[in-house]
A and B are shown apart, each in its own frame.
Chain A
């Protein structure tokens, strides 16, 4: 699976949009981009995934560049409960057997 690069930490003001970048310059054509987050003392939680089109769900939006070498996770109105470590993962397809390969992630701190 392709390697990802994320900033170690970011701050965001409560109520503002949080934009979390991820570089995956070696991504292959059949690899998806996944985002998970891990709130303190909990297991990781799935947020969103995409292949090449932008995606939106009730939690977040995922913007993937046209060349697919980078992406941005957007939390449109960050709350204190969004403080967590956010992991960007790329992996081939989404078959059940594929494990997740986590990097260090971005520690997002949402401040009042």
Chain B
């Protein structure tokens, strides 16, 4: 079946601009995660959704970052007033959200470059 998809695969923007990154989770997965990965480092957690609500947004670096998941499926990560330090690969993952073991399935990521 289809895995997690992310669009666009690459995004180049200028400092100060607004960007939106989209994640389509695996159908039926209620849990959705966003991570950010800088060059040469492991992914860092940003935010976790269970259904439509953000259950844990403790990883968002500041108030320029915001994410939504209005219908409990597709999620959009929004970054306002982008800075060069926001350049990274943004990864989305989903999991079934059931009791017990929940493997996280990752998408290929969106590479964001802020000039």
Contacts and interface: CB of A to CB of B under 8 A. Distances in A.
Interface residues of A, number: 20
Interface in A93-110: 94-97, 99-105
Given A43-B91, A44-B43, A101-B45, A96 B107 contact: no
Interface SS of A by simple majority: loop
Nearest to B31: A96
Contacts of B42: 85, 87, 102-105
A96 B106 contact: no
Interface SS of B by simple majority: loop
Interface of B: 4, 30-31, 33, 35, 41-45, 48, 50, 55-56, 59, 91, 93, 95-109
Contacts of A97: 31, 48, 50, 55-56
